[in-house]
Amino acid sequence: MIGPWRIWTATHHLRDAVTPPLPQALTPAFLLGRAPELRATATAMLSRAVSEWGWAAAIFFTLCLVSLATRTSRRLAAFYLISFGAIAVSLLWLYGTTPVSLSLLIPSSMSRTVNVFMVLAAFASAHLMSTLRPARRRDRS
C-alpha cells in the first residue's frame, strides 16, 4: 500500500527523516531558540480560532467551567480541556519546530490546523451540554 508513496518520494528526491531530529526538537534550549516561531504560530492559531470559531470556543470554555464549578461531569470536562490543550500544544510545537518557512506555512494551512482542535471543541460542547441538562422525570402512571 505504501509502494506508490515511496516511489513518488524517491522520484522527487524527498526523504522521510524528521528535521530537526526528535531528541533535539524536544530540548528546552532548542524550543527557547525557536521562541519567535512559537509566538508567531500561537498568535496565528489564536487569531484564526477567534475569527472563525469565536462562538464555539466561548461556548466550549463556558461549558467546561460550568461543569467544573458545579461538579457535574467534572471528569468529562477535564478530559476535554486536557485533550484540547494537548492537541493545541502539539500543533504549536509542530509549527514551531518545522524547518519550513512560517511565512508560507501559516497562511496556507492555519485554517485547517485550527479546525483540528476546534471541531473537537464543538463535539465536546454538545456532549457536555447533554450531561448538564436536568434529567426528565418519568411518569409512573
Please compute, for residue 107, the number of CA atoms within 13 A of its CA located in the half-sphere on the CB side: 3
Q: What is the largest CA-CA distance in the chain?
A: 75
**pLDDT for 137:** 55
pTM (whole model) above 0.85 = no
11-64 confidence digits (pLDDT tens): 888 776 667 888 888 889 999 999 999 999 999 999 999 999 999 999 999 999
